Chain A
Amino acid sequence: MLNVETLQNAPNLAWLAKKTCENFHNLPAVTMVLANGMNGTLSYKELDEKSDHLAIYLREKLKIPAGSSVAIQMPNCLSYPIAALAILKAGLVVVNVNPLYTVPEMIHQLNDSEAVALITVDIFKDKAAVMLDKTKVQKLLVVQLPEFLPYFPKKIAQLVIQYWNKQVPKVSVPYISLKESLRQGAQLKKEKNLNVSEFEKGLNHQSIAVLQYTGGTTGVSKGAVLTHGNLISNMNQLLVMLKDQLNTKEETILTALPLYHIFAFTVNFWCFFVIGARNLLCPNPRPISNLQRALENYPVTAISGVNTLYNALNLEDWFKETPPAKLKLAVAGGMSLHLSVAQTFKKITNIDIIEGYGLTETSPAICFNPFAKPKEGSIGLPLPQTEMKLVNDSGQEVNNGEPGELLIKGPQVMQGYWKKPQETAQSIKNGWFATGDIATRDSDGYYKIVDRKKDMILVSGFNVYPNEVEEVLSEHPQVLECAVIGIPDGASGEAVKAYIVLKGDTEPSKEDLRSHCKSKLVAYKTPQHFEFRKELPKSPVGKILRKELRKEIPGGA
C-alpha cells in the first residue's frame, strides 16, 4: 500500500506527481496498447521529465500566466498523462474536452472555461482549425496518436491512421508539435536552470485543478470546479477503501474508459498512478476486440468500466474462453450496473464487479461497495469522510427503505459550477450537494439508486422507476440493451414504453417480452409499448439518454 501520509500531506497534485515519480522511478507508469498488440511505455521517470519539460514550455515559452486554463482533447494515449501532469505542474488548470464533441459543443466549452491553449491529436485538427478564431485559445499543440511508441510501431500505426483509415484531416492550421515543445522545454530548463517546483509554490487544496464539464440533466454543459484538495481527498478515500486489495508497485490496470472522463481520470489514472501501478491505455475500445491483446499480453489485475463495457466483454468468445487470470478487482460506475451483466461477468471471471456511484461534481466517487461484502444491485456504503442523506420533496429525511433524493457532503464535493453562481446555489445548500438521484437505504446502510428525479414515470398514481423495468427486460436472452420512458396516455396519465436493441436479428414477439416482464413485475410496471431500435441515444460515457427518447414523443419532455 502507498505511504498514506504522502497522500494526506500532499499540498497539491503537482507536488504529489513529483513525489510519486521519484518514488517509483524506473517502473512502467503508462503503456499504450493498440489492437494488434503494438505498445509503448513511459516509466515514472520519463513521465516526470517529459511533463516537466512541457510545464516549462507552457509557462516560460508560451508565457501562460499561472491559474489559466489549458484544454486537453485526446483519446487515451501516452501524451495524455504528459499533458495533464504538465498543466498541473505548471500551476495551470486542466480542462478535459471530449474528442467526440461537435465543434459548437467544443467552442462552448473552450469559451466558458476561458482556455488559452489546447493540446490535441492530429486526427482532430479540423475541429481545432474552426475553433481557433472563435475562442480565446491562442496556442495549439498537436501530437500524433502513436507518439512515444518505438520507431517502427509508431511509423506503422501512423501510416495506418493516416492513409488506411484516412483519419488525419487535410487542413492547415498553425500549430506547434508536442514533440518540439518538449524539446524546447528541455532546452529552456537546461539554459536557465529552471525548476518546475517554482510553479507549484502557491498551490494548495483550495486551488483549482480541473474544470470538468458535465452535461447534467438540462441545458448546456457546465464546468464543475474541482480543486487539488477535491481530487487528493477522493483518491485518499478510494485508496483507504481498497487498501487490502491493492499492493504498491504490483498492479496493472486496464484503462479502456477515456481519461477525459472524471471516472477514469481519478480512479484509473490518479489512484493507480500514486500506488506505482502500470496503466494500460487503450485508445479505442470499439470494437471491443481492441482490448484483447492488452488483456492477454499483460497481467491485468484491475479493470474499471461501465455497464456497457462489461456487457460487451461478456459477449466476446475470447474473453469467455480465456478470462484474465490475474484479475482481482473490477469496478463499475457511471451508470447503473445491470444484475444480469454482473452475474455473467462473475460466471466468466469469478470476480464480483464492485459497483460504486459518483458524479462529475464529486470528483467523482461518493459511494462504493465494500470489497469484502458487496451487495448486488447496490451502490454500497459512503466513502470515508462522506456523509449522505435521503430527503423527500419537502426536505425531510426519509426512513430506511423509502426513496428520497440523495444529498452528499464531503471533501470531494466541487466548489461549484464555473461562473454559474445561480446553478451552484441551487445544487449546493448548506454544504449539501443535491445529486438529483433518487435512492433508498437498507437497514445495513447500503444505498441503492432507484432513479433520477426526472426519469420517474407516473402510471395511474403509481411510481415506476425505469431502471427497474430495464433491469428485468435486459434479463431477456434476446435483449442487448433497452431504455424505458413514460409516454402520455389518456387512461393512466402515463404509460410505460420500452425501446429495445436486440442481440441478434430475430425479433421476439411483444407478447413474449410482455410475459417475461409480467413474471417479475407488477402489472403497472410492465411496458405497454415496445419498439425495436438499431441503437439507443447515448452520452459519450455510454449512458443511455432517456430524455432524447422522450423528445421524440409528441407532448413528451
Chain B
Amino acid sequence: MISEVEKKLLGIMMILIMFGMGSGLTWRDFFRAMKKPQGVGVGMLCQFGLMPMIAYGLGLLFNLSTPAALGLLIMGCVPGGTTSNIFTYFSKGDLALSIIMTVASTLLAIVATPALLYFYGSKIMQGELQIPFGDVSLTLFVLLVPVILGMLVRKWNANVGAVAEFFGGILGVVVILFLIVTWIPRNAGLLSTTPNEIFIASLFLGLSGFILGFGISKILKQTNKRAMTICLETGIQNGPLGIAIVLFSFPKELQDAILIVPVLYSLFIVLSSAGVTYFFRKWMTRLEMQKLKTDLL
C-alpha cells in the first residue's frame, strides 16, 4: 500500500499533471463537448448504470466472500477517477469530454453512490454507509482548479501553455511508469495471500468497463473519439475515493478484508489502461492520417 507521504506526493504530482493537461485545452474544446451533451449522458449511463451492474455480477459469478464482494461493489459504484483524463490525453481522445464526465460523475456520486450501494448491497451489507465529502471535494479540487488555471495560462500565452502541457505530459508518463514499476514490490505481501478469484474479479471490473463502455457508446452512435473517451472513463474508477469510503464506513476489523479489492483494482487499472491507451493512440493516429492521404498538400 501507499504511505501517507507517497500519497501526498502523488497528489501534488496529479495537480501538476492536471495543470499541464489544462494548458493544452481551450474553451472551444469544452464548448464542443457540451454542444453534444449526449456524450456526457452516455458516459453517465455507463458509469452509474453499467459499472455497478458489472461489479455486482462479477461478485456473484466468482462467488466472492462478503467483504470482497462488498469491496468490488464499492469500486463499481464510485465515480470516474482523474487518471482517466491522463489516459484520455495520451490516447488522443476528447480530453474536455473526459474532464466534464469526471466532474459530472463526481458530483452525481454524492447521491448516486450511496443509492446504488443501498440498492445492490442491501443483501450483503448491514449498517450505515458514509460518503466522505472531504475526499469528494478533494477530487473536484485536484481536477478543476489546476485545469482552469492551466486554461487561463494558455489563453494568456499559448507558448507558455504548450510548454506546461509538454512537462505535464512527461510527468504523467513518469507517474504512470512509477506506479507500474513499483507495483510488485509494493504489494508482494498482499499478492501472495489473496485468492485467485479476487485477482480475476478486480482485473475484470476495469476490463469489462472498457469493453462494454466502448460497445454501448458505439451502439448509441458516438464518434470513435468520444467512444474511446467514454470507454476509459467507464473503466477507470476513483480508487482513492473507494478506499476512503471503506475507511470511513466500516469498523477497523472489517476494513482490511474489504480493502483488498479497491487496492488490487487500483493497481490493475493502471496496467490495463496503459495497454488500452497504447492501442487507442495507434488507432487514432492511423485514422487521422487516413483522412488526408497525401503527405504535404
Contacts and interface: CB of A to CB of B under 8 A. Distances in A.
Contacts of A297: 26, 158
A535 B292 CA distance: 10
A238 interface: no
20 contacts: A34-B162, A36-B166, A37-B154, A38-B162, A38-B163, A100-B296, A153-B163, A156-B166, A256-B297, A258-B296, A285-B292, A286-B289, A287-B291, A288-B292, A296-B26, A297-B26, A317-B225, A322-B31, A322-B32, A540-B296
A39 B159 CA distance: 6
B165 interface: yes
B6 interface: no
A321 B35 contact: yes
Interface in A257-297: 257-258, 284-289, 293, 296-297
B24 interface: yes
Contacts of A538: 293-294
A445 interface: no
Contact of A308 (B159, B162, B292): B292
Interface residues of A, number: 45
Contacts of B223: 317
Interface string B273-297: 0000000000001001101111111
Q: From B158, B159, B294, name the one whose CB has the most chain A CB atoms within 10 angstroms.
A: B294
A109 to B, nearest CB: 17
B226 to A, nearest CB: 9
Interface in A231-277: 256-258
Contacts of B32: 317-318, 321-322
A542 B162 contact: no
Contacts of B31: 322
B159 A38 contact: yes
Contacts of A92: none
Contacts of B28: 296, 318, 322
A27 interface: no
Nearest to A264: B297
A354 interface: no
Interface string B30-41: 011001100000
B32 to A, nearest CB: 5
A285 B293 CA distance: 11
Contacts of B162: 34, 36-38, 153, 156
B209 interface: no
A152 B158 CA distance: 12
Contacts of B296: 75, 99-100, 258, 284-286, 540
A508 to B, nearest CB: 17
Given A315-B291, A317-B225, A318-B32, A306 B161 contact: no
Given A37-B154, A287-B288, A501 B159 contact: no
B294 A542 contact: yes
Nearest to B166: A156
Nearest to B167: A156
Interface in B133-192: 154, 158-159, 161-163, 165-166
A352 interface: no
A309 interface: yes
Contacts of A153: 159, 162-163
A284 B294 CA distance: 11
A308 B162 CA distance: 29
A316 interface: yes
Given A258-B297, A317-B32, A321-B32, A312 B154 contact: no
A37 B26 CA distance: 10
Nearest to A537: B294
A523 interface: no
Nearest to A150: B159
A308 B297 CA distance: 8
B163 to A, nearest CB: 5
Q: From B26, B35, B163, B293, name the one whose CB has the most chain A CB atoms within 10 angstroms.
A: B293
Interface string A523-557: 00000000000011010111000000000000000
A312 B292 CA distance: 6
Given A37-B24, A285-B297, A312-B291, 8 more contacts: A39-B159, A100-B295, A156-B166, A285-B292, A293-B158, A501-B293, A538-B293, A538-B294
Given A293-B158, A297-B158, A306-B297, A288 B163 contact: no
Contacts of B291: 287-288, 312, 315-316
Interface string A36-51: 1111000000000000
B210 to A, nearest CB: 22
Nearest to B155: A297
A112 B258 CA distance: 79
A308 B294 contact: yes
B158 A287 contact: no
Contact of B293 (A34, A306, A481): A481
Interface string B223-234: 101000000000
A39 B225 CA distance: 26
Contacts of A316: 291
A36 B95 CA distance: 14
Contacts of B35: 321
Nearest to A159: B166
Contacts of A317: 32, 223, 225
Contacts of A256: 297
Contacts of A285: 292, 296-297
Interface in A9-58: 34, 36-39
Interface string A300-338: 000001101100100111100110000000000000000
Nearest to A256: B297
A270 to B, nearest CB: 19
B89 to A, nearest CB: 12
Interface in A118-177: 149-150, 152-153, 156
4 tightest CB-CB pairs across the interface, nearest first? A287-B288, A312-B292, A38-B162, A37-B158
A37 B223 CA distance: 24
Contacts of B24: 36-37
A546 to B, nearest CB: 15
Nearest to A312: B292
B84 to A, nearest CB: 20
A315 B224 CA distance: 13
Contacts of B288: 287-289
Contacts of B166: 36, 156
Nearest to B223: A317
A37 B297 contact: no
Interface in A321-374: 321-322
Nearest to B285: A287
A160 to B, nearest CB: 8
Nearest to B159: A153
Nearest to B161: A37
Nearest to B165: A36
Nearest to A293: B158
A286 B295 contact: yes
A257 B159 contact: no
Interface in B179-232: 223, 225
Contacts of A315: 291
B163 A152 contact: yes
Contacts of A312: 291-292
Nearest to B225: A317
A251 B285 CA distance: 33
Q: From A309, A322, A480, A540, name the one whose CB has the most chain B CB atoms within 10 angstroms.
A: A322
